[in-house]
Amino acid sequence: MKNGKKQETIENLMVVSQNVRRLRGSISQADFAKMVGISRATVHRIESLRNFEVVNLFKIADALKLRRYDLVLTDDERALLQGCIDAPIGSFKEVLKKEIVAELKKELPNGLFRKLPKEKKAD
């Protein structure tokens, strides 16, 4: 393995290790392992940058109801991705809301729509 590729692999393993440690929090490796359905030794291998099977990351992600790729993202990548996801969802919600309001105005008898209670804004 070339030096640059080896360094990239180590950096990627460090990201995975940090993410698993963060998810585990103050829970022991043994308890975390039971919770996600892998062995304590596997948790230790992941956290200490040793070889492990990728299927174990899938088990962790699935058990914690995460997207499988979340475990390999840095904080910056996760924030960037979340921003890309939130913007279209927010826009979609606004478009959908306008369409629903337009349909309600068509369907409800004249003037009744204005008498419906207004949606409270979240603080």
Report DSSP letters for 79-109, one per residue: HHHHHHHHHHHHHHHHHHHHHHHHHHHHHSP
Residue 97 sits in the same domain as residue 54 = no
Residue 50 sits in the same domain as residue 94 = no
- For residue 12, what pLDDT is reported? 86
Residue 23 sits in the same domain as residue 66 = yes
The CATH code of the domain that includes 32 is 1.10.260.40
Rounded to an integer, the average pLDDT of 13-24 is 93
Residue 53 sits in the same domain as residue 108 = no
pLDDT (tens digit per residue) in 35-76: 999 999 999 999 998 888 989 999 999 999 998 888 888 888
Residue 13 sits in the same domain as residue 55 = yes
pLDDT (tens digit per residue) in 88-103: 656 666 767 777 777 7
Residue 32 sits in the same domain as residue 57 = yes
Name the domain count of the chain.
2
Nearest residue to 15 (alpha-carbon basis) of 77, 66, 67:
77
